[in-house]
Each structure stands twice: as structure tokens, then as C-alpha cells.
Chains A and B, each alone.
Chain A
Amino acid sequence: MQTGVESDTVLDIDDRVEQLQGSDYLSFELDGELYGVDIQTVEEIRVWSPPTLIPRSPAFILGVINLRGMIVPVMDLRIRFQASQVDYHRETVVLILRASEMANGKIMGVVVDAVSDVVDQGEGQIMPPLGDSQVIAYVSGLLNVGERVMSLVNVDELLRIERWI
């Protein structure tokens, strides 16, 4: 689906890794894997409540919610990243993320399995992402967190609506 973007992602990967140095990350679980987003992009964390459907939207766009008077779309990252299991219960959370002004500054809710900790990059080295998968286009680097590997998600790329509409 996003094949056209990948080459370009690989090209400037060094720059992106550079930008990521020294940030704090909010980590979250998705289908047993650990992901992280730059904490600066997180507006707030909300509990799940069913959104209003948008006709003819992609399957991973669940609809829109009212965020203090703003109409904000909600996407299910598990559907988007093709996780094996997607269900909504009381612990399901929605991360409200904001793209940078340089991208389009849009705000979007992102449903994930569960939020874990805030991870300080510290001495850890960010490594470029490896391999080829559906998700790789949105990942700008990997970071070792204890025994696990965290994929750092690029929020600007993730929220680029024109890619899938």
C-alpha cells in the first residue's frame, strides 16, 4: 500500500535518526511488540469510547470524537499495522497525537493495546530499522529497552492523511 514511500524513507533515514537523539519516548504495546513515539507529540491519553463513524473511510479509521470542541479522527493502529487481535475493552487507550506544524499540524487519536512507560533514550543507541514490513515505512529507528526492542514511530508520517485517502 505504501510501497512508493519506502525508498524515500530509507534515503533520509540517517537524518531522521539524527533528529531522534536525546528524546523521551512514550512506549506502548501493540500485538506483543513495543513501540514508542516522541513524547512531545503526545497531546493526551484517553480511555476508549466509541467514535462517530465516517462514511467511506479506510477500515483503520474508526471515526471522529469530540476533543474539547474539536473534531478529531481516531485510527486503530492495530488494524493499520495488521495486528492479529483487535478488541476494545475498558483498558484500551487512545493516544492523542499531533503532527508537527511542518507536516500538517493535524491532531489524531491512535488506538493501541496498552501504554507502558516513558523511556529516556539515555545512552542507548538508535539503530536504523531493518527488514521489510507493512510497518517499516512509519518507523524511523530502533532502540534497545532492557530485553526488548522498541520501534520508534514517526508521528508525522503516521498522520499523513493524504497517503490513504
Chain B
Amino acid sequence: MAMDMDQLRRIFYEECRENLEVLERGLLALDLGAANFESMNTIFRAAHSIKGGAATFNLDDISHFTHVMETLLDEAREGNRQLDRQTIDILLRGVDCILAMLEAYENDAEYDKSEPDAVNAALNAIMDSDDSASSSSNDLSSAPLSTDLAPQEPAGSDIEKWAICFVPDPAMLFSGNDPVRILRELHALPGGAEVRCDPTHLPNFAQLDPEKLYLRWDIQVDGHVPRDEIEAIFEWVEDECDLTITPIHRSVPSDMDAASTAAEAPATEPQTPENASSSEPPPAVKKANKPAVKSDASVSSIRVDIDKVDNLINLVGELVITQSMLAELSSDFSPERLEQLQSGLEQLMLNTKELQESVLNIRMLPISFAFNRFPRLIRDLSLQLGKRVELVIEGENTELDKTVLERISDPLVHLVRNAVDHGLETPAVRMEKGKPETGMVHLNAYHQGGSIVIEVSDDGSGLDKERVWRKALDKGLISDDIPLCELTDSHVFNLVFSPGFSTVEQVSDVSGRGVGMDVVRRNIEQLGGNIDVHSTVDQGCSFKISLPLTLAILDGQLVKIAEEVYVVPLISIIESLQVDSRQIKTASGVQLYRLREENIPILRLKEEFGLGSTDDDLDKQLLCLVEAGDKKVGLLLDELLGQQQVVIKSLESNYARVPGISGATILGDGSVSLILDIQGLITQFLARVSDASGHIAAA
């Protein structure tokens, strides 16, 4: 039972997160004036579900807090209130508060109550201030003992109590509603509640259906509680019960009519509502103890598209069929049936491959998981910085491995923040430059070959080549013997990723970019990807991140370098060719291979890895052209072996990071083969070549 509760709670946490997302997204859309009645309803429903769910699980802080938000949203939905920017701001802060509370509950931790209190106060203030203006709207502030009363009721304090007659449908339990929860909520109202159960409709034991509800309740609630608040408690079940709420006036207790039977009995005794709570039977303990939740449970779970699971099940089915076919074959095998065996094995291979792909596919999530947080980020930033920003997101359905996704989020946030903070100009400056006042930040994700590309671009001021160069000189990242005009744009711009570049305060004033960009690059390179920057002054700046689709498996080309077998990721290879020694030119101390008008630096892997020296007769050798981040290099090797998918194993877990090697794999014969880190090799090699020749090697 306890287990079940935990499970349900976890589902609730997940749903609550989703609802919070819906709420946030809706509010942001509202802010842009893009809302309609339907979206308003969606927002309201999200808040409502959060509140209801939280109440069910005794997360009182959340349910009470959300109640106020919900009330305000309800008024807006009914058209009784306009949500202005300021209100949306506060509601968004409210979303953050709920998230914080949720996290606190999940981890059984404490949270800072000051922010929720502040938001609560602000929301109440908004509702109070508008109350006089919009007479039709009701203030349902949950603040204890609110003096506001529902307008239908006579004003003043002559309502002593509310008499509630609550007759649930017998089938109510089937809808998942539980009267105990409602009673508990009533009990939690200021002044408590007097509850009396009416068991007279219970059938004989023989006719009793244990899944039906035969009980009715007569309830009395303190008269200071606004009627709407009581109605709100019953909102979830209003279609599933007969409900009458009647006021009992102080002077004339006989004034009740409709609910006479209901009210009469209890009306006599509860003159002192304070006593009521002590004599109450409801099992609810106010501020119920926090659920003991195993932390991190939700963090490691994954929500999978049902289609993917169905596909897996189909594949497993096929695999089982193939297996039984082979089993049958083996029980009665003769050489004539060899062909049958071969086709069976082929089938098995096919199944395994498909199964492998599908299993990997389960880890794939749409990149919208990472992109979703950006509308909010942009909104907050634009307010904070006084800029106008429009965010355009494309390709949010592109799928990416969960691990990659998790680790790419922070770098992306960094880039987007930079784009708004340093890239985009203020509206005034933009006008001066003849650009539209509103700046654009563009997020785009798409597949390219076996990798995924994520672009973050803006139409801001762009990078100033000279300033970046000067900064790099100051920091000693480059030597000053090469004039700026001889450096390519991309070489200069890529300096913003240098580790030293970011340590300066106020980089934004000087270069427009830079804080922590080295960390961004490192994170991306750790994922086996690379990042590149393009920029045009006053037209904007664009960062292009290219990532492998998955971290677990790659298509590899096995190559032989001096008796050792290495794996080159197939995705990096452009082509492989037999070396024609006439095409090898030496220019400024660097060996280049002339291939169709292109000069490609040659990297002698044998020397690079200390495996001996390359034979002078290069004609017998192979050149494998590889590319990473727009840079090409020819790897000199002895032999090309087969291609195969390899499972990537970490070299670091028992050893250490090795430059030029991204990991290891185990080949079919059980031997270990190392996987080349093309990006790392190229970067290292070009850096060394440029040192040696005193020139920047433009690839």
C-alpha cells in the first residue's frame, strides 16, 4: 500500500511538472497577446489540477498557494479581469514558487517561504485593489478570515454559519474522488468545520456494495468563510453530488428552508465553532506530515513515446519467432538444411540490429525538452535588460540522446543568455542602426549526416574582430607578430572560446562575448561535438554546435597503424585514398597533400602515437581525409580494415583521459581497440603546426 502511494505520488510530481510547464507556457503566450479563450481555459485547468492533486496528496502548501493563483485565473477566464503584464509577472513568479515547493517535497527538504509569501501577498493585493472596480468579481483570497464576502449574500457578519448538505452520488468513488479529502479541506478552513455523517441510507449488509458510497454529510462551516471558497472545495465533485449551501443567520436560525433537515440537527449545538474542531472525527492532520519520498526518483526516469515501446515489443516478438525457428532447425539438422540455417541467422542478425536501434531510440528525446525553458528565460532577460527580444524556435522535435540532452542544456542557456545580454542592442541603438526595434534570437536544431546540429543565432551587433583580437593579445593568447589582417575571421572569433579569454570582468563591454565560453566549448567537446562561431558586424552572430546523436555507439572504420587497430568514427571521414607522392608538397615546413586544388595538412599518426616512423615510400600508404569543425586533415595510415558499429567504452573510468583518443571499444575477438578523437587530434595538430611554422594554418 505504501508502495502504491509512493508510485502515485511520483506520477503526481511528474504531472505537476507538466502542468507547471503548461501554465508557464500559457502565461508567456498571454504576455504576447496570443491568448484566446481556449488557452485561458488551458491555463486555468493546469492550475486547477495542480491544486487538486496537491490537496489529494496532502501537499497543503502547494494547494493553498495555488488556490490563490487559480482564483485569479478563474476571474480572468470568466472575463472579469484583465491580466496585465505585472500580474503575469507575479503569476510566473508563482509558477517558480510552486516548482520550488514541489522540489522541496520531492527531496523532503525545506524551502524558502519568503518568496511564496511575497507572491501570495502580491496576488492578494491585486485582487483586493481591483475588487472595488470590478464589482462582479469575487475575492476568494485564502487569507484567513478574509472579511470579503460573496456578493449574493447579505453583507456583514450576520451569517453565523453555513449549513452544507452534501449528498454524494453512490458512484462517486469510481471517479477517484474521495469525500474524506473534501471533508479534510473543509476542516482546514478558518474556524474549522462541524461534520456529521448521515448513515441512514446504508442498505442492509446483504445488499451492500462495498464500492459504492451510501453516506451523506451535514456540515457546518464558520460564517466568515466566503461562500465561493466553500464552493471551490466542492468544485471537483459538483457533478457527482447534490449540494446545498445555506446561510444560517445569527439572529434568525429558523431562516433556513431548503436544507432544513440538514441544518437543523447540528444547528443546535455548535454555538462555539472552536469546540467543533476538537470533537471532529476527520482523520486529517492539518499540515500533514511531508511524504517521505526517495529523492532523485523522478530525475532518472524517462517518459517514452508509446509508439516506441510498441515497436520494441513487435521486434521482440519477431526475435522470439526467429529463435524458435532456429531451435527447431538445430534439433533436426542435416547438411541439406544449411541454407535454411543461413537465412535464419541472417534474420537473427537483422532482428538484433533493429532491436539495438530501437533500444537506443528509447533514450532519444525531442530537443524541445531543452528548448522549452527559453521562452521564459528570454522574457525575464528582456525585462531585466530593457531589450525587446523575439525568440524563434525551429526543429524542436529533433531527437537527441537523453544524456546528451541533459548535458547540452547548460551550454545552450549560456549561449542564449549571451545572445540577449551581449549580442542584441537596446531598442534605441537598433533604431539608430536602422534595424527593427525587436531583436531576434533564433534556435534551430536539425540532423546533418549522423550528427545533430544546434544553432543559436541573433541579429545583434556581432563580434568585433579587432576588439576580440586586442583582447586576445592582452591576455597573451596569441602573439602579436601576425597582423590582424592576416588572420581569418573564424580564427579570431574562435578565440572567444579560449580559457583565458573569459576570466576578465566586463568582457561584455569589450568583446561582446566571452564569459565562460571555454566551459561551453569544453562541455560540448566532452560530448564528442564541436562548436563554431560565425559573425558579421551589425548583422549578428551565430553559434553552431554539432553533436553526435548518441554517446553509446558509433559507426566506425577500423584502420591499421603499425600493427595496432584503431577506430575512426565514420562520420568524420570524408574520403580515403591511396597516397600519390607527387601530390605531397611542403610549404613553410608543413607537409600538405594537394587534392583537387585543396591543400590538406598531413598528420602522420604513426609518429603522433609514438609507434615508429613512417616509411619514406609513401605511395604504399593510405590517406584518410577527416573533418571536424570545418577543418580538414589527412591521416596517414597503413591499412583500412572493415567498418562496424562499435560500443564506446570509457578509458577514463580506470585510466585517464588520453589526448587524441576519445574512448575504447572491444572488437569481435575480444581485443581492445582505441577510438580516435578526430576533433582533438586536429586541434592539437594544427596548434603544433602553427607553432612550428610561425603561421596560422588555415585549413
Contact = CB atoms under 8 A, between A and B. Distances in A.
B670 interface: yes
Contacts of B658: 54-57
A165 B655 CA distance: 10
Interface stretch (B145-153, B364-372, B607-615): B607-615
A107 B671 CA distance: 18
A73 interface: yes
A52 B661 contact: no
B176 interface: no
Contacts of A107: 654
Given A53-B611, A55-B609, A55-B661, A70 B671 contact: no
Contacts of A65: 672
30 contacts: A51-B672, A52-B564, A52-B672, A52-B673, A52-B674, A53-B564, A53-B611, A54-B655, A54-B658, A55-B610, A55-B661, A55-B674, A56-B610, A56-B658, A64-B655, A64-B674, A66-B666, A70-B649, A70-B654, A71-B651, A71-B655, A71-B666, A71-B672, A72-B654, A73-B655, A106-B653, A106-B654, A107-B654, A108-B655, A162-B656
B82 interface: no
A69 interface: yes
Interface residues of B, number: 23
Given A53-B611, A66-B671, A71 B649 contact: yes
A130 interface: no
Given A52-B674, A66-B666, A66-B671, A71 B608 contact: no
A54 B670 contact: no
Contacts of B670: 66
B647 to A, nearest CB: 9
Interface residues of A, number: 22
Interface string B613-657: 000000000000000000000000000000000000111011110
A54 B608 CA distance: 12
Contact of A64 (B610, B660, B664): B664
B666 A69 contact: yes
B199 interface: no
Given A56-B658, A56-B659, A66 B610 contact: no
Given A56-B658, A66-B670, 15 more contacts: A52-B564, A54-B661, A55-B611, A55-B660, A56-B609, A57-B658, A64-B664, A66-B666, A69-B649, A71-B664, A71-B666, A71-B672, A73-B655, A106-B653, A162-B656
Contacts of B654: 70-73, 106-108
Nearest to A162: B656
Contacts of B610: 55-56
| Residue of B654, B658, B670 most packed against chain A (CB within 10 A) | B654
Contacts of B659: 56
Contacts of A165: 656
Contacts of A66: 666, 670-672
Interface of A: 51-57, 63-66, 69-73, 106-108, 161-162, 165
Contacts of A108: 654-655
Nearest to A63: B672
A54 B666 contact: no
Contacts of A54: 651, 655, 658, 661, 674
Given A53-B611, A66-B671, A71 B650 contact: yes
Contacts of A69: 649, 666
B649 to A, nearest CB: 5
Nearest to B658: A54
Contacts of B656: 161-162, 165
B649 A52 contact: no
Contacts of B660: 55-56
A162 B666 CA distance: 25
A63 B564 CA distance: 11
A162 B608 CA distance: 23
Contacts of A161: 655-656
Contacts of A53: 564, 609, 611
Nearest to B672: A52
A65 B671 CA distance: 7
Contacts of B564: 52-53
Interface string B242-272: 0000000000000000000000000000000
Nearest to B661: A55
A64 B651 contact: yes
B105 to A, nearest CB: 32
A9 B654 CA distance: 24
A71 B655 CA distance: 8
B595 to A, nearest CB: 26
A73 B661 CA distance: 14
A69 B650 CA distance: 11
A165 B654 CA distance: 13
A53 B564 CA distance: 8
A141 B286 CA distance: 63
Contacts of B674: 52, 54-55, 64
Contacts of A57: 658
Nearest to B651: A71
B561 to A, nearest CB: 10
A161 B651 CA distance: 13
Nearest to A72: B654
Q: Which 5 A-B pairs have the closest CB atoms?
A: A55-B609, A52-B672, A73-B655, A71-B664, A106-B654
A73 to B, nearest CB: 4
